[in-house]
A and B are shown apart, each in its own frame.
Chain A
Amino acid sequence: DAKTTQPNSMESNEEEPVHLPCNHSTISGTDYIHWYRQLPSQGPEYVIHGLTSNVNNRMASLAIAEDRKSSTLILHRATLRDAAVYYCILRDDGFGNEKLTFGTGTRLTIIP
């Protein structure tokens, strides 16, 4: 399974944009890039996903490099409620039973 690499932790000021990077240099052509986040004392929740093109939704934007070997989750205006662990994972759309593997993620701290 292709792996992802994320910084262990990041800090950002409240009301400023946050760019969370993820490297996935061994990504295959059928891998979707997914982001999840885990708020304190909760299970992970879906944030956004993409395949090749940049994606926007009400929570965030996902910028995918042209060679797909890296991606960036963008929170346009961080609030204190965005403090969480953010996971970047790859999900293989090839035939077969999906393992759905997570790593250690990036712990995002928002400074008031």
Chain B
Amino acid sequence: DVKVTQSSRYLVKRTGEKVFLECVQDMDHENMFWYRQDPGLGLRLIYFSYDVKMKEKGDIPEGYSVSREKKERFSLILESASTNQTSMYLCASSPWDREDTEAFFGQGTRLTVV
């Protein structure tokens, strides 16, 4: 019954590494979102995409990029990981222009940059 799948639950990377976080959804949703979650700061939107190859910046895009080559897959890229990017990363998806329906979240990836 899993609908949004994130490739890893836990990830440890070194400072300066290029990091890919993958998210796949099986509901044919147009919208996909990447968030990071830190204690006391709630969910903050990094990037979102409403179609293949389309992307828009969220509230905290600095230090991140994204890729959406296929409708079902949305990747978050940390070009050169830094310790301040240690966080929980959450992916979500929803149908386009259907704000009367629910969004679905993955289980999250806890990334530690050492």
A residues apposed to B, CB below 8 Å? 32, 34, 36, 41-46, 49, 51, 87, 91-93, 95, 97-105
Contact = CB atoms under 8 A, between A and B. Distances in A.
Interface of B: 4, 31, 33, 35, 40-45, 48, 50, 56, 58-59, 90, 92, 94, 96-97, 99-100, 102-108
Contact of A100 (B41, B42, B103): B103
B106 A43 contact: yes
B105 A43 contact: yes
Contacts, number: 69
A45 B2 CA distance: 12
A104 B38 CA distance: 10
B58 A102 contact: no
A43 B107 CA distance: 5
